[in-house]
Structure 1
Amino acid sequence: MGGKDDGPNPRRVVFVTVGTTCFDALVKAVDTQEIKDELQKRGYTHLVIQMGRGLYTPTKSDRADGSLIVDYFTFSPSIQDYLRSASLVISHAGSGSIFETLKLGRPLIVVVNEDLMDNHQCELAEELAERKHLFYARPQTLCRTVASMDLDSLVPYTPGDGTPVARIIYRFLGFPED
């Protein structure tokens, strides 16, 4: 379900995205040795962190010591290529990031930013986790989620057809139907 094989040593990338916000709690969580060890134990070779407006700078690693290769950046015009090349995505709970990842068929762990007020993102993540489309965590439970996740238990996401809803809205607004 995603990733790129490079012969006998497959490249398995974990891509972390916080979107355009500051979510230092997530960046700090994935930067812990505990998480890095768990990811490496599960066969992942690279950790790429999109850290957004955050102030916390993760630790880079070039694998000279045999550990996970870690890199980071703040922003990119598009994260589409990062999502496509990922074997696992760990994302903030923004609906754009969630649905973009699910449409690409990548395994996803959504981490909710509990510092946001009136967090409707939490409801979305919980609902999609209940439907087994993704895993759901908080920064402090992320390592436990990574350690216990069973990627085979995920159910592929199939986008719905919004046409019937659009017709109702058009009719309500008085627009002609096609």
Structure 2
Amino acid sequence: MRPEPGEVLHFSEDPTIERFVPHVAKTSSKREPYVWAVGHERCPDYWFPRACPRAMAWTGPRTTEEDRTRIVGSGCGDRVHAIEYGWLKALMDVRLFAYRLPADDFAPIGDPPHAVVSTVPVVPLGPPEPVGDLFELHEEAGIQLRVLANLWPFWNEVTASTLEFSGIRLRNARR
């Protein structure tokens, strides 16, 4: 599930949203109200239940072959996502929807950019689309999906490496 040209996506478990209104997200360090969405490259970060903690890593221009092999694996693609066993059932059962939004209403945020935001209300381009099987999406995108007892050892390895990475909802991970 990726946006078409001229679109960005917002993923949600709520299929009833008719209009996105800027707000300050509880998890955001930003105090400005935004509507949040993602472009093509960051969509896989959201192929999860909303509250599911996930640690993600991928190769980038400064990634060493040693780190790639050690963390991603040899012949295993360029990207790996990890969740905890306690979230496996939720990943299998979640009904996730994608809203297609007009890209013109959005600007990149972050350095490097990790999302796009709008400061004005945004109406979806159409009804929300069921995202479907999240395991299948990962497989089709060539992204490894690992299930671990605890994310923190993996996260510590990733953040100390030369891989690029993102962690979402890590506050929900086991301590």
In which range does the TM-score fall when normalised by the shorter chain? Answer: under 0.3
Larger RCO (CA within 8 A; separation ≥ 6): 2
Structure with the larger strand share:
2
The structure that is helix-richer by fraction is: 1
Select the structure of larger CA radius of gyration: 1
Return the TM-score normalized by structure 2: 0.26
Calculate the TM-score normalised by the size of structure 1: 0.26
